[in-house]
Amino acid sequence: MGAGHSHSHDHGHGHSHAPADFGNAFLIGIILNTAFVIVEAAYGWISGSMALIADAGHNLSDVLALLLAWGASVAARRPACERFTYGFKSSTILAALANAGLLLVAIGAILFETLHRMAEPAPVQGETMAIVAGIGILVNAGTAALFLRGQHDINIRGAFLHMAADALVSLGVVIAGLAIIWTGERWIDPAVSLVIVAVIGWGTWGLLKDSVAMSMLGVPKGISENKVRAYLSGLPGVDAVHDLHIWPMSTTETALTAHLVMPAGHPGDGFLQRLAGELDRHHRIGHPTIQIETSRAACGTGC
């Protein structure tokens, strides 16, 4: 460094926000939904209901999504090693991205078959539709309840939203089955399938957008870079802030690096410990790394 420039590098680490243990919830959800997918697909084929088959395809993608999210939550708990110094926390982000990809594939497959059925409506057993979909409401609503807590984790939130949406979709299939019984109209079944595709697409867009942003190391949702910068700039003795970076380490943990220009000199370890605690409590940033600099010249045009 140039003469007269003094630099100190300090690391403050707040509390960990590792994913809560949802192992039992994932296991129960996977078993229930796998069994229901088999039943729903079988009766969808027997009854000729595209709505049931579409819902079964969606439920199958949700089973795969639950497996991915569960695997990622287990991997996130593995300790850091020489090569992966952050551990495997970011696997939760990859799982969320893969989850969104699975849903896009499901949408394409269901939409293709639904459009074919719209052109050539087939006879449908409304009673079977209503009964099987009614069971689906219970299975999906029960699974969603298992993930009601832990909404701060995008993987857990994704699992909850998928199951809750499935319960609503199953309700729609029940209504469609009753409508077919009352009217005998064949077009109702593929029309409901289109509604299912729209519901899946709406939920997938939000999950895809969030997971892509996290994989691109964007500032996590709910954290304001401007507010963090303003907080750091307002600290006693801080003359400038530069090289501020905020990124997700996982779906629940956030890291930060920043350079603080403090002409009066290094404020001591107590200052850094308090700063780490405040960033954790008020900004949900649990892994801050702060560099203290005593001259504006160190940041060039970045100040």
Set out the domains of the chain in order of their start, with CATH numbers.
21-214 (1.20.1510), 223-291 (3.30.70.1350)
Note the pLDDT of residue 56.
84
Note the pLDDT of residue 109.
74
Q: What is the pLDDT of residues 53-76, one digit of tens each?
A: 877 877 887 788 788 778 887 887
- Estimate the crossing angle of helix 50-75 against helix 188-215, to 10 degrees: 20
- How many percent of the chain have pLDDT more than 70? 89
Phi and psi (nearest 5°) for 188? -60, -40
Least confident of 50-59, 148-157, 158-167, 174-183: 148-157
From residue 196, alpha-carbon distances to 43, 178, 296 in Å are: 18, 17, 58
Note the pLDDT of residue 254.
92
Q: Give residue 74's Cα distance to chain centre.
A: 16
Least confident of 10-19, 23-32, 216-225, 274-283: 10-19
Token output for 55: 């819902």
Using 50, 70 and 90 to split pLDDT, how confident is the model at 150? low
From residue 101, alpha-carbon distances to 98, 145, 281, 298 in Å are: 5, 24, 34, 44
- Estimate the crossing angle of helix 50-75 against helix 126-146, to 10 degrees: 20
Least confident of 44-48, 155-159, 252-256: 155-159
Hey, how many other C-beta atoms are within 10 angstroms of the C-beta on 167? Answer: 19
Please, are residues 211 and 96 in contact by the beta-carbon 8 Å criterion? yes
Helix (H) or strand (E) holding 141: helix 126-146
Please, are residues 280 and 14 in contact by the beta-carbon 8 Å criterion? yes
Note the pLDDT of residue 303.
66
Note the pLDDT of residue 192.
80
C-alpha count within 13 angstroms, C-beta hemisphere, residue 294:
12
From residue 138, alpha-carbon distances to 26, 88, 117, 173, 189 in Å are: 17, 35, 28, 13, 21
For 116-134, what is the mean pLDDT?
A: 79
For 86-115, what is the mean pLDDT?
A: 81
From residue 104, alpha-carbon distances to 16, 58, 101, 200 in Å are: 33, 10, 5, 9
d(CA 135, CA 126): 15
Q: What is the pLDDT of residues 235-253, one digit of tens each?
A: 999 999 999 999 999 888 8
- Higher pLDDT pick, 185 / 297: 185
Q: What is the pLDDT of residues 6-47, one digit of tens each?
A: 444 444 444 444 445 677 888 888 999 899 999 988 888 888
To the nearest whole number, what is the mean pLDDT of the chain? 82
Which residue type is seen at 144?
Answer: A
Q: What is the 3-state secondary structure (H, E, C) of 67-98?
A: HHHHHHHHHCCCCCCCCCCCCCCCHHHHHHHH
Note the pLDDT of residue 151.
63
First-to-last alpha carbon distance for the chain, in angstroms, is: 18
